[in-house]
């Protein structure tokens, strides 16, 4: 649905995008993630036809945004970081205005009612936009992007400045839109891409340093998978058996208990799935396996790994087997900027306190 090929954008001597290529399939939600100054807004602006590129192509559903911008723009709904709202209009007036501006041909009343219902604006349709809260204004911004029922939705930092409840609402909304649309969103928040996106494209200093399915990105970058197992059996013997299992790079006993079962963290080497082997091993020893879960993507590690490798190899894609090191952490902190690390740090603290985003 979206195809970006060898995109380069120079602002004078500043190279904001350096040979960027990626595709987004129909129905996918893709997160463009990177620190401030990475080139996200530049990519979004080119993708939406608001900015020309120095070279390269951006295609929306087969239409070249640079050579046929009017046709391509009809396929796109865009929510810029600052939603283009007119505070002196009511929500309903504004959506009608957007309808006219886009030259929409759908049944006006029915379509705009549907848009209002989807983003739950029905109750405030008659209110002046200036009297709405930030969360509601963001919903109006999303509604204007939906007018005309475009195939592609592009959101630039859609949850910046919202409170936690509004953030969850907007994320749910975007996930819902992803069922019928192709969505690209840019963010500098690790938790955002993890909560919303099917695939993550990480951009750093104008180059793509990772492009993977969300659930596979940790494995693809670090080469390992992580599991948490709850096992009934003598702790020292269980731990030794886990550590000796082929394909297990690391096993450790956790402080947590579940009845008479102890909890263990496992990390496999090179993306191996050891779950079946683990089941048979434990059955053989007579130790009951009462819980087994993949512990998911640790994006913090992914960032550190990706940036470390990209710094070393001139921002090329991180190879498999890359590992985080203390030196990598320092490089990453300098490169990715404080925001990512503040968030990663707060995620760690929340995890330690047993909290999640939705708390
Ligand atoms: P992001 O959205 O990831 O924060 P941007 O696309 O805004 O990144 O910026 C990428 C790089 O291009 C940065 O180094 C930024 O300073 C530079 N840049 C962006 N816009 C301009 C401009 N109009 N003129 C000169 N440099 C710019």
Whole-number pLDDT of residue 223: 58
Is the Cβ atom of 202 under 6 angstroms away from ligand 1?
A: no
The reply to whether ligand 1 has any atom less than 6 angstroms from the CB of 347 is: no
State mean pLDDT over 30-58.
90
Ligand 1 midpoint to CA 85 (Å): 24
Mean pLDDT is lowest, of 23-27, 130-134, 230-234, 255-259, for 255-259
pLDDT digits (tens, 9 = 90+) for 318-354: 333 333 333 333 333 343 434 444 444 455 555 555 4
Please state, in angstroms and rounded to a whole number, the distance separating the CA atoms of residues 207 and 186: 15
Greater confidence, 286 or 332? 286
Q: Is 331 in the pocket of ligand 1 (CB under 6 A)?
A: no
Is the CB–ligand 1 distance for residue 153 below 6 Å? no
Distance from the CA of 337 to the center of ligand 1, in angstroms?
Answer: 15
Picking from 85, 46, 91, 36, the residue whose alpha carbon sits closest to that of residue 69 is 46
Mean predicted lDDT score pLDDT of the chain: 83
* Domain 218-352 -> CATH class: alpha beta
- Residues contacting 53, CB < 8 A, separation 6+: 7, 8, 9, 17, 46, 66
Q: What is the atom index within ligand 1 of the atom nearest the CA of 45?
A: 6
Measured CA to CA, the distance from residue 214 to residue 161 in angstroms comes to: 25
Ligand 1 centroid–CA 39 distance in Å is 6
User: What residue ranges do the domains of the chain occupy?
Assistant: 2-217, 218-352
Distance from C-alpha of 282 to C-alpha of 213, rounded to nearest angstrom: 31
- Give the dihedral of Cα atoms 51, 40, 210, 328; nearest 10 deg: 140
Q: Which numbered atom of ligand 1 lies nearest the CA of 188?
A: 3
- Of residues 308 and 110, the one with the higher pLDDT is 110
Beta strand 199-204 pairing with 207-213: antiparallel
Q: Report residue 316: phi and psi, to 5°.
A: -85, 165
> By percentage, how much of the chain surpasses pLDDT 70?
80
**CA 133 to CA 169: how far, in whole Å?**
14
Q: Are 64 and 49 in contact (CB under 8 A)?
A: no
Whether the model pTM is above 0.75 = no
- Give yes or no for residue 207 CB within 6 A of ligand 1: no
Task: Give 2-217's CATH code, choosing from 1.10.10.410, 3.40.50.300, 3.40.50.720, 1.20.58.390.
Answer: 3.40.50.300
| 274 close to 255: Cβ distance less than 8 angstroms | no
Q: How far apart are CA 317 and CA 202, in angstroms?
A: 10
Q: How far apart are the CA of 300 and the centre of ligand 1, in A?
A: 24
Q: Is the CB of 37 under 6 A from ligand 1?
A: yes
Residue 301: pLDDT band with limits 50, 70, 90: low
The minimum-distance atom of ligand 1 relative to the CA of 12 is 25
Least confident of 99-103, 164-168, 218-222: 218-222
How many of the other CB atoms lie within 10 Å of CB of 50? 14
Question: Measured from the CB, is residue 80 less than 6 Å from ligand 1?
Answer: no
Q: Which of 178, 270, 264 is nearest to 218 (CA)?
A: 270
Ligand 1, residues 7, 8, 11: which to mutate, most atoms within 8 A of Cβ?
Answer: 11
Mean pLDDT of 26-46: 89
The 10s digit of each residue's pLDDT in 184-202 is: 998 877 778 878 999 999 8
pLDDT class of 33 with cuts at 50, 70, 90:
confident
Q: How far apart are CA 189 and CA 160, in angstroms?
A: 9
CA of 7 to the centre of ligand 1 (A): 15
Work out the angle at residue 184's Cα, subtended by the Cα atoms of residues 180 and 224, and round it to the nearest 5 degrees. Answer: 105
106 phi/psi in degrees, rounded to 5: -70, 165
Question: How far is Cα 273 from Cα 257, in angstroms, rounded to an integer?
Answer: 24
Q: Mark 161-181 as b/e (b = at least 16 C-beta within 10 Å).
A: ebeeebbebbbebbeebbeeb
């Amino acid at each position: 649905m979206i195809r970006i090929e060898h995109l380069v954008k120079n602002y004078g001597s500043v190279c904001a995008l350096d040979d960027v290529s990626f595709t987004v399939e129909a129905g996918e939600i893709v997160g463009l993630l990177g620190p401030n100054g990475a080139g996200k807004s530049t990519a979004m602006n080119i993708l939406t036809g608001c900015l020309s590129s120095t070279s390269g192509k951006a295609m929306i559903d087969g239409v070249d945004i640079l050579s046929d911008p009017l046709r391509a723009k009809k396929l796109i709904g865009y929510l810029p970081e600052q939603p283009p709202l007119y505070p002196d209009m009511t929500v309903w007036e504004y959506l009608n205005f957007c309808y006219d501006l886009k030259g929409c041909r759908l049944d006006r009343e029915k379509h705009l009612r549907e848009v209002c219902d989807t983003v739950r604006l029905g109750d405030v349709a008659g209110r002046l936009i200036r009297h709405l809260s930030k969360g509601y204004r963001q919903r109006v911004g999303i509604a204007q992007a939906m007018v005309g029922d475009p195939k592609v939705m592009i959101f630039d930092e859609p949850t910046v400045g919202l409170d936690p409840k509004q953030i969850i609402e907007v994320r749910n909304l975007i996930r819902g839109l992803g069922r019928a649309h192709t969505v690209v969103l840019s963010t500098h928040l690790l938790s955002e891409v993890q909560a919303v996106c099917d695939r993550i494209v990480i951009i750093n200093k104008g180059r793509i340093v990772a492009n993977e399915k969300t659930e596979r990105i940790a494995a693809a970058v670090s080469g390992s998978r992580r599991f948490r197992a709850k096992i009934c059996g003598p702790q020292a013997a269980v731990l030794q058996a886990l550590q000796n299992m082929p394909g297990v790079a690391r096993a450790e006993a956790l402080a947590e208990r579940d009845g008479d079962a102890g909890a263990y963290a496992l990390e496999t080497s090179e993306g191996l799935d050891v779950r079946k082997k683990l089941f048979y091993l434990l059955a053989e020893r007579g130790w009951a396996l009462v819980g087994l879960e993949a512990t998911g993507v640790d994006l913090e590690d992914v960032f550190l790994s990706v940036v470390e490798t990209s710094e070393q190899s001139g921002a090329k894609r991180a190879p498999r087997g890359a590992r985080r090191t203390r030196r990598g952490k320092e490089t990453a902190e300098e490169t990715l900027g404080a925001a990512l690390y503040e968030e990663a740090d707060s995620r760690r603290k929340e995890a330690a306190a047993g909290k999640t985003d939705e708390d």
